[in-house]
Amino acid sequence: MPRYFTTPIYYVNDKPHVGHAYTTLAVDVLARWHRMAGEEVYFLTGTDEHGQKVEKAAADAAMAPRAFCDQVSQAFRDLTVTMGVSNDGFIRTTEPRHYEACQALWRKLEANGHIYLGHYEGWYAVRDEAFYGEDELTERDGVKYAPSGAPVAWVKEPSYFFRLSAWGDKLLNFYETHPDFILPASRRNEVMSFVKSGLQDLSISRTSFSWGVPVPGDAAHVMYVWLDALTNYITALGYPADIPKFWPAGVHMVGKDILRFHAIYWPAFLMAADLAPPRRVFAHGWWTIEGQKMSKSLGNAIDPVKLVEEFGLDAVRFFLLREVPFGQDGDFSRRALIQRLNSELADSLGNLANRTLSLIQRNCEARLPEPGAPDALWAEHIANLATTVGNHLELQQFHAALEAIFAAIRAANVHITEQAPWALKKTDPARGVAVLRGLHDALRVIATLLTPFMPTTMAAMLDQLGVPEDARNLAALATPLPGGLALPPPAPLFRKLDLPA
């Protein structure tokens, strides 16, 4: 089955921070896993470049909006390289193909009777590009704020509306019949509660600024940035041409702050245009710094480029998906990162690989022993590990997938200590060789399953294990490597770091 995975398109009002890298990394792991499973994958990321907030950010930078977008969008494209991301496509909402797709979708919605012209009055947050109800606001020092913390102002302007109020029951029925459409489950409950409270028709155009996709047939209006932005997911597949191969999307990965747009507005737009909704929207949590959300306004955002320069790419990739249950918020600290790298990568996995391969060098003439009957380590911890990891990743449980792999690594470390193949060389050489072959087989599985998370380091480990390039996929794990393969001398794969004082 073809698989289509997307990040949100990132807003170009500021440079990327580690929260952007986190979302993109999660999708990269999914894409790499499913390619390794032999499936056809399309992985999309990109930038959201329209709206009042971008227009203002460009003005503040004394730049024309397009030039400003060119500069910041390139920073997000560069981030995919920095993070070792394997995206197949990168979309910008200022591309001509996207204007065509947005206007085609508008015409379809209009032809189907879902758009009408009126005017809007309400509390609007420029930072969120969203309207909020009075009951959602808080007030401090005479200023009203949205739930996101953005200040709001009362605005009134002519607007086209999408008849969202007509979609409440249809959406609730869709959520009921597709219980895994929104994950994690706590987010699903939030969305259903919001829809049950009653949906209002949605303003989908603006006249107060001009940096956006023009509304077909009415040059005084530009499209509401969320109708424009969400359309990117089908623009990239060629809409308005037929898009059957990769649609519906397998997973839209988003931050929890934009779940409402993806889980309410987007499926309603799609169904109103006679298109299928995506299969899933997964809303992950935020990384915080000392309990505060990373943001430009607080000045506490972590630069992922500097983080990779300090700790190395695969170490950062591993930590971000290992440290916090995916879907929950997590607080970032360098101490936690170093402790995780030292204990799990260097001490646990690195030492297991080095001990096993060093013993094969010394005890087996640097050649892989012949395969033998599965031992207890294999039967209890390795045989079904790929299935377990795959099941976790199918639900975007990255933390659980990694925990399953590291449980197997811990078991392998216990096994090598208990079996003591260095001692068996004297008392039962055949058994010692069989133990080393079993450990090598286990390491092959472990390194293969960790490849989507740490592609460069695991490629180096698979090199040391003598695994051919064409055998580094899930299907190949069913075929044992032949005995007699010459193995190179092992080299350390991870370095231990000093904890900060």
Q: What is the 3-state secondary structure (H, E, C) of 182-233?
A: EECHHHHHHHHHHHHCCCCCEECEECCCCCCCEECCEEEEEECHHHHHHCHH
For residue 350, being part of any structural domain is answered with yes
For residue 261, being part of any structural domain is answered with no
For residue 439, being part of any structural domain is answered with yes
Average pLDDT over residues 83-88: 97
Instruction: Say whether pLDDT at 297 is over 70.
Output: no
How far, in Å, CA of 69 to CA of 422, rounded?
61
Which two tokens mark 15? 């440079």
Largest CA distance in the chain: 88
pLDDT band at 93; cut points 50, 70, 90: very high
For residue 294, being part of any structural domain is answered with no
Contacts of 241 (CB under 8 A, 6+ apart): none
**Cβ–Cβ < 8 Å for 378, 442:** yes
pLDDT at res. 296: 61
Instruction: Say whether pLDDT at 388 is over 80.
Output: yes
Instruction: Spell out the alpha helix ranges (H) of 37-95.
Output: 52-60, 65-82
Amino acid type, 483: G
Residue 164 DSSP one-character state: G
Instruction: Say whether pLDDT at 300 is over 80.
Output: no
Instruction: Say whether pLDDT at 147 is over 70.
Output: yes
Encode pLDDT of 237-292 as tens digits: 999 998 889 999 999 999 999 999 999 999 999 999 999 999 999 999 988 876 67
Q: Name the average pLDDT for the chain.
A: 94
pLDDT at res. 8: 97
For residue 59, being part of any structural domain is answered with no
**Cβ–Cβ < 8 Å for 377, 442:** yes
Tell me the torsion sign for CA atoms 7, 446, 482, 478.
negative
pLDDT at res. 124: 87
Domain ranges, residue 458: 334-478
How far, in Å, CA of 412 to CA of 324, rounded?
24
Encode pLDDT of 427-484 as tens digits: 999 999 999 999 999 999 999 999 999 999 999 999 999 999 999 999 999 999 999 9
pLDDT at res. 57: 87
Q: What is the DSSP string of 298-324?
A: TT----HHHHHHHH-HHHHHHHHHHSS
Strands of 224-275 (E only): list them: 251-255
Instruction: Say whether pLDDT at 364 is over 80.
Output: yes
Average pLDDT over residues 348-354: 97
Domain harbouring 347, CATH code: 1.10.730.10
DSSP bridge partners of 158: 119
Q: What is the domain count for the chain? A: 1
For residue 448, being part of any structural domain is answered with yes
Residue (of 235, 234, 239, 204) closest to 222 by Cα position: 204
Which two tokens mark 236? 């990239």
DSSP bridge partners of 10: 47
For residue 434, being part of any structural domain is answered with yes
Instruction: Say whether pLDDT at 43 is over 90.
Output: yes
Which two tokens mark 201? 């028709």
Task: Look up the pTM and report it.
Answer: 0.93
Q: Can you tell me which residue has the tokens 């499209």?
A: 223
Length of the chain: 501
Q: What crossing angle do the helices spanning 398-419 and 385-394 adopt, rounded to 10°?
A: 160
For residue 414, being part of any structural domain is answered with yes
